[in-house]
Amino acid sequence: MQDVMMAAQALYSEEQRMLLDNFRRMAEAEFVPLVDKYEKLGHPPNAETLKGLFVKCEEFGLISGLVPESDGGLEMNRMTYGILYEELARIWPDLAIAVLIQGHAALSLSMLASPAQKEIYLAPLMRGERIGCTCISEPEVGSNVVEVKCRAERKGDNIYVTGQKLWISNGAQSDFAVVVCNLDEGISMVIVDRYDDNGGERYQVRELNKMGLVGASTCELFFDGAETTADHVLGKSGGGLFQTLKLFESARVFVGLTSIGIGQAALETAVLYAGQRSQHGKLIGGHQLIQGYLADMATQLDAARLLCQRGLQLLDLGVRCDTQTSMAKWYATEMAVEVAGKAVQIHGGVGITKEFPVERHFRNAKIMPIPDGTTEIQKLVIGRNLTGISAFS
Ligand SMILES: Cc1cc2nc3c(=O)[nH]c(=O)nc-3n(C[C@H](O)[C@H](O)[C@H](O)COP(=O)(O)OP(=O)(O)OC[C@H]3O[C@@H](n4cnc5c(N)ncnc54)[C@H](O)[C@@H]3O)c2cc1C
């Protein structure tokens, strides 16, 4: 197994391999003990703990890595960033999701924020002092992002945001929310601080109970005339839809990489078990059908990894690549469901118990084809780009 991974990593540069080794050492020492802890607790870390975890990740550039140096970021190439991100997802995908949201909040602030906004939001976010969340989805708005109902009204120098947001990652620990809402004539992004000067909450948060990734916060957020000032519009007023779609282009590859991390963990545990369990007088890893499963899993995993790594390289080139990032997202997330499912099968009965990590990998994998555009929506994006005909609004 180790040899297989090392051969694939021969394509990485010496620097990338060293970074990966150092990151793995840190993450295994610091994060592995927390995986079980939060799995048993059944809820995500609180804001202070998450900020501490972000600081550890930022030692390797995982929060500011996508932000240009001119904005105080590390400006890593996405391939290197992606190699570290996949490893984090292998070890603790729940934290990887939180990092993805924080890292992409930093990316969108660096692309869209005014100098004053960058000072207040971007710099503390990269230092892990403040946590941001991005609010697009609503109870009646999921795949149909253009139909956002949440609204914002200007009154004098202020803006008041009203509406309900659903499935918001990092919502529980957030210090501010970037809310996609209707402002003036079009969909816009508005920043709302969670706490006012007296510590009162401008928006309320309810954690949702998920089947997997229980250490990642996913919340319902309620805005009832939440007050912010007019200088809190992020980017262009009315440009929120385009800005959101641009963000999806990058985030989708990282959702794919999260699945690759989960799938890799499932493959590793299946190989280990197949080398320990005997039936019919020999190790199950010696049965041809089990080897067939393992070969399928490893090949699908590598195919997904290569699709995602191509997406990272295209994003670095700055070319439009929504077709390729949609391919990477749907294939990698569906692949991980299959790989984790086969890993459970290889474990037989023990695979469905909490005594073995493989059931957690399966529950985690099953979530990933949903966020940032479901598999069906990714296929519609690819189909639209191939035909020039949109099957959805
Ligand atoms: C773990 C997790 C984290 C998330 N984090 C965030 C976040 O931080 N911020 C945020 O804003 N949102 C977040 N989301 C929300 C996520 O983006 C939505 O769940 C997703 O867009 C799907 O929307 P929906 O759940 O409303 O499903 P729906 O849109 O209701 O879809 C239901 C089903 O119908 C299918 N469907 C819908 N329309 C079509 C069509 N035109 N053709 C064919 N099939 C169709 C879908 O593919 C799906 O299978 C998160 C979700 C999850 C699970």
Q: Would the CB of 167 count as within 6 Å of ligand 1?
A: yes
**d(CA 373, ligand 1 centre) in Å:** 6
Q: What is the pLDDT of residue 174?
A: 98
| Choice between 329 and 8, residue whose per-residue pLDDT is larger | 329
What percentage of the chain has pLDDT greater than the value 90? 94
Backbone phi, then psi, for 119, in 5-degree steps?
-65, -40
Which domains, from first to last, does the chain contain? 2-126 (1.10.540.10), 132-238 (2.40.110.10), 241-387 (1.20.140.10)
Confidence class for position 369, pLDDT limits 50, 70, 90: very high
Q: What is the percent of the chain with per-residue pLDDT over 70, rounded to a whole number? A: 99
| Position 8 pLDDT exceeds 80 | no
* pLDDT class of 105 with cuts at 50, 70, 90: very high
What pLDDT score was predicted for residue 5?
Answer: 72
Instruction: Give 21-32 pLDDT, tens digit per residue.
Output: 999 999 999 999
**What contacts 22, CB < 8 A, 6 or more positions away?**
60
132-156 residue pLDDT tens: 999 999 999 999 989 999 999 999 9
Report the alpha-carbon distance of residue 261 to residue 83 in Å, rounded. Answer: 10
Q: Are 365 and 262 in contact (CB under 8 A)?
A: yes
Point out the ligand 1 atom lying closest to the alpha carbon of residue 141: 26
> Could you give the CA distance from residue 205 to residue 199 in angstroms, rounded to a whole number?
15
3 state SS of 211: coil
Q: Which atom of ligand 1 is nearest to the CA of 218?
A: 3
- Ligand 1 centroid–CA 210 distance in Å is 14
Residue 6: its pLDDT value, please? 67
Expressed in angstroms and rounded, the spacing between residue 376 Cα and the centre of ligand 1 is 10
Span 292-306, average pLDDT: 97
In sequence order, what DSSP letters do the residues of 248-298 get, joined into one string? HHHHHHHHHHHHHHHHHHHHHHHHHHHTT-EETTEEGGGSHHHHHHHHHHH
Residue-wise pLDDT tens digits, 235-249: 999 999 899 888 989
53-77 pLDDT, tens digit each: 999 999 999 999 999 999 999 999 9
First to last CA, the chain: 45
Instruction: Give the three-class secondary structure for 309.
Output: helix
> How much distance in Å is there from the Cα of 208 to the middle of ligand 1?
15
